[in-house]
Structure 1
């Protein structure tokens, strides 16, 4: 009897243990490789820097110009959907192709679909390919300055050339064009990257440039939705807010995006880390505990209800870089990805920094954390499937696997013929020639051959060299002396001024933003620049002194023309160029010495106009307040 009870109790204990084991196993998340692959395809990483022996918390600044084995294995193991490369990753034609081939081969080894390999090649101040290797163009506002006389000609030609050159290097996504309507003269991040302030003109030029890229097989990206044109804060360093009324949002900010959707088929649209209370005023609790209005990147009302459903966008929605302060200050890395996927983004761009071996594990952890959010019901499995289908469809539609099927050696030869081809450089020069706007000229130019001494005051030494070379090539016998604002010496300025017949001062306003420099990794150098006010004070003092000595004075705005009224009263002539791109060239002279020169299409165009060889034919694409 007692023995029977003991047996009964033992059996009961085993039964309870078995039930507990079953419940425990049921509570553990089951592995779902398919879901993990879906999530990985929705991530796009940057590999700008990597240090194989660095700790996770060290500041690594070693550029990735060849794919390290650890990063290659990460791509093979995880199936990440894409990467974005920066200027630091790009040195020469063969190196760029070898890197892009290695990236695609890493994905192929894991049985994954080809990678999106993206780049920011807008033209003007946002170009990543070395400018001596590829055609960069004067940028969007320069194209806007030609619109009155040439319509969409240069939008189309630049789009085609960008696509041909990028495709030849193995890139398949261009994060361009920018279709923000720049209605704020103080905009620190868009400004000259916009075609102008007229929404209809921006819509036409942006759609034509986008279509031209895509006609060549390059996926284009309209940015930054729902519009970054009226901000006074750079989303790299803060969270901008646009308080436009709904009617202005529809007729200005959204108009270029809607026009492109209605008239063509944008491959991608990039979100903006900007608050738009009239579109979505819902709040969230930031990681510091404060209440903040959702930025567009995190808003389902903006990305799904508006862009996807109301506006009818069928392509892929990619976020702007999630490491920017407009997001990173408020969300931790995992939460940012989950929130933007819940809002309706297809691709999370640069969600975590991969700078060392310790960071690589974070990629797998991120994928697992997002998978948990799907299994818990916070994120929709059905929406993930549809998102992955959009991504896969785009990759197949543009046949991105075709590129790296050709031998690398053959690709290098073809790319060398295509990059900066003579006919491409010719179009680049034509755009520069036709974009320059004459705002004022009271007989200051054409410069006659009798001019013997020209004093230039330029933002830095490289621009001194480029403009000096262009003028000397056109004014035989003229002495051109250039002062760099980076090495200002007031006494030297005044001494040089006494000998000058003509004084030409040039300014870049506003200063370069982080987007133009390359991204958040440049923020330390960006903050250490000389104050802009100091540069302006020096230029004004030089022009005032020149006027007092009855010298001929010319002012050149090398960026946006909003600051020209500040200088116009001291200048006999005022010109706007919208760009200051230049190329570095090296050659050996007859004595075996290495000679370094800087030149650029804009400086050639300026010199031609100032010497009377050509006429300034551009029109201002933005309004200038002459009351200031």
Structure 2
């Protein structure tokens, strides 16, 4: 019935309504099609296109608790149909296997045959990946360290090929945030660089790689989440720079991406008083707060649409994040976002059972009421739905290629995590490894048979990745004994000191999201062994003890490279830009194995820092500048 309505509207001037049964979108011009679809839709159907919930977990009627939603069911199908949903976002809980993912997505699409769904996911590569059987890739800051446009394009292409084969048609990536704040707890290695030009160059190549696989790319988090010290999952960040600075740094990658045709832009739950100093009364504590970009008409309509010329789809970051949920009511947040110029409200309400369907109903009805009252103009709703459907038409979603489910499964198994992708992933990670210090030619390690290598890292999966990576080298020339130790939330003790006594070589992985050393009057106090400071205090204690005993010691920065500022006394330091180790029978990232190969001389570090690294003791001093990286043979700066 619905399909007949819009098809008839498209061709009413030349054909009778009765002749239009079965007309498909490709039978008429795309622009005419989309306008006709919108004209033939009810208000309820339009609102549904603008809402994108998740079904990360689901509790069926009669079950005791919610578990990962991995198999389509009639309950979710009914909700999709009832609210005319335009899309769904998937998480790791939904995509546990390749065959399973294809079948789940096929089931989701079958629930919306007239207007197929946006099936979206956060597959950035690196530390933010969702596919549990896909190619993880080294991540954006690793790409920044290589400086390679080829690798950036390959990253987008690999992600696009894998997502497309599964049925995912929108990727919420790449991050175009310029990470110029070492204290940023949420972006860090998700950013390519602190240099907006490098972020632009690599980001655009990643976008091209994705979109040429017919997967919509999403530049995020507009206008920029890179210079914040608050994680918007937990609080409301504030960026106080003036317009000139914001346009020169934060906005530059987004403007370039717009000029190159990026499909979507995702908002940031960040306050930018230079663009909008409007205030609201927080529902959390009654305090007056600045409106965040996600809810700002001045930012999304005035700046993004009118000044920067973006004509694509605007999607919010998840509206259940505390920056929004703590300060604005569930319904009010969605209505404010849509009024401000957002096209799609992402995760507007938690729905993990039929019992909780009332949350979605409440938001849905609030939007309908806002339209009926004129608070949300119908003209604006129509424009949003038209943009959504134009993108669906552009990416082949409105009229998808038909194939039997078994054929889809067979294809996906050949694509997702295949050998070619894994080989490219490995090359990228190895070329990203950045050698920052190598006094006394500490590296490469050259152990003799029977020597003991002690590896320490915060978590078991990281220790396992290091140990396995060394064992994989043993067949060639590394017939050594390996001892592993995970030190998360532990204090340095006699047991660890005894292991260092027995070791000939010590490798310590540091994992610091946000520097928080035990500091006293500007000096790191190694006498403070507070287990709450384990991320910095423990590896420093290992470094001090190992070097006092003349053991060969190397510090490997596993996450944000800024943490190497805690280890100025170390003789050998390298950064790998990725912390995920080995679990569930696989390496979750290629970064740690790449670092191990460098340490033992099986690959040469070619990376250059894509950010400045300040001293922890004296933050105004740059310890290692942007572009810094050493040649392991000569010890000189790479050219």
Shared topology, TM-score over 0.5?
A: yes
Which position in structure 1 is the counterpart of 2:135? 135
| Aligned counterparts, 1:94-105, within 5 A | 94-105=99-110
Q: Residue by residue, what CA displacement relative to the aligned partner does 1:34-63 show, whole Å, maximum 9, x if unpaired?
A: 1111111000000011212489xx9x5411
Residue 485 (structure 1) aligned with residue 474 (structure 2): no
TM-aligned CA distance change 1:365 to 1:548, over 3 Å: closer
Q: Residue by residue, what CA displacement relative to the aligned partner does 1:271-304 show, whole Å, maximum 9, x if unpaired?
A: 0011000000011223243321110011000000
- Structure 1 counterpart of 2:46, from 38, 51, 72: 38
What is the deviation of 1:248? 0.7
TM-aligned CA distance change 1:533 to 1:157, over 3 Å: same
TM-aligned CA distance change 1:410 to 1:347, over 3 Å: same
Contact 2:512–2:535 under 8 Å retained in 1: no
Alpha-carbon distance between aligned partners in 1 of 2:583 and 2:561, rounded to the nearest angstrom: 26
Q: Which runs of 5+ in 2 are unaligned?
A: 1-39, 516-529, 618-639
- Structure 2 counterpart of 1:106, from 111, 115, 122: 111
TM-aligned CA distance change 1:441 to 1:426, over 3 Å: same
Contact 2:183–2:514 under 8 Å retained in 1: no
| Aligned counterparts, 1:426-441, within 5 A | 426-441=423-438
Secondary structure class of the residue paired with 2:227: coil
Alpha-carbon distance between aligned partners in 1 of 2:545 and 2:361, rounded to the nearest angstrom: 63
Alpha-carbon distance between aligned partners in 1 of 2:198 and 2:589, rounded to the nearest angstrom: 27
Alpha-carbon distance between aligned partners in 1 of 2:123 and 2:411, rounded to the nearest angstrom: 20
Q: Residue by residue, what CA displacement relative to the aligned partner does 1:130-183 show, whole Å, maximum 9, x if unpaired?
A: 1xx211101000000000xxx311110010000000111110000000000001
Contact 1:124–1:136 under 8 Å retained in 2: yes
- Normalization by structure 2: what TM-score? 0.84
Which structure dedicates a bigger proportion of its chain to helix?
1
Q: Residue by residue, what CA displacement relative to the aligned partner does 1:386-414 show, whole Å, maximum 9, x if unpaired?
A: 11100011001101255562111001100
Residue 243 (structure 1) aligned with residue 216 (structure 2): no
- Structure 2 counterpart of 1:275, from 268, 271, 278: 271
Secondary structure class of the residue paired with 1:107: coil
Contact 1:469–1:599 under 8 Å retained in 2: no
| Aligned counterparts, 1:224-623, within 5 A | 224-262=221-259, 264-288=260-284, 289-401=286-398, 403=400, 405-442=402-439, 443-450=441-448, 452-475=451-474, 476-486=478-488, 488=490, 490-510=493-513, 533-569=533-569, 571-584=570-583, 586=585, 601-623=590-612
* Segment of structure 1 superposing worse, 485-494 or 212-221: 485-494
Contact 2:464–2:581 under 8 Å retained in 1: no
Q: Residue by residue, what CA displacement relative to the aligned partner does 1:543-562 show, whole Å, maximum 9, x if unpaired?
A: 11111111111100011211
Q: Residue by residue, what CA displacement relative to the aligned partner does 1:246-285 show, whole Å, maximum 9, x if unpaired?
A: 11100001110001112x1111000001100000001122
Secondary structure class of the residue paired with 2:614: coil
TM-aligned CA distance change 1:531 to 1:207, over 3 Å: farther
Alpha-carbon distance between aligned partners in 1 of 2:531 and 2:493, rounded to the nearest angstrom: 17
Alpha-carbon distance between aligned partners in 2 of 1:511 and 1:408, rounded to the nearest angstrom: 46
Alpha-carbon distance between aligned partners in 2 of 1:73 and 1:195, rounded to the nearest angstrom: 41
Q: Residue by residue, what CA displacement relative to the aligned partner does 1:347-404 show, whole Å, maximum 9, x if unpaired?
A: 0000100022122133334222211211211111111111110001100110125556
Alpha-carbon distance between aligned partners in 2 of 1:328 and 1:128, rounded to the nearest angstrom: 24
Structure scoring higher RCO (CA < 8 A, sep ≥ 6) equals 1
Q: Residue by residue, what CA displacement relative to the aligned partner does 1:589-620 show, whole Å, maximum 9, x if unpaired?
A: xxxxxxxx757522332222122222111000
Contact 1:135–1:424 under 8 Å retained in 2: yes
* Segment of structure 1 superposing worse, 530-539 or 494-503: 530-539
User: Number of aligned pairs?
Assistant: 557
Alpha-carbon distance between aligned partners in 2 of 1:40 and 1:607, rounded to the nearest angstrom: 50
- Normalization by structure 1: what TM-score? 0.86
Deviating 4+ runs (over 4 angstroms): 401-404, 597-600
What is the deviation of 1:311? 0.3
Q: Residue by residue, what CA displacement relative to the aligned partner does 1:107-141 show, whole Å, maximum 9, x if unpaired?
A: 11xx3x110010000011100001xx211101000
Q: Which runs of 5+ in 1 are unaligned?
A: 1-31, 513-529, 587-596
What is the deviation of 1:33? 7.1
Q: Which has the larger radius of gyration?
A: 1
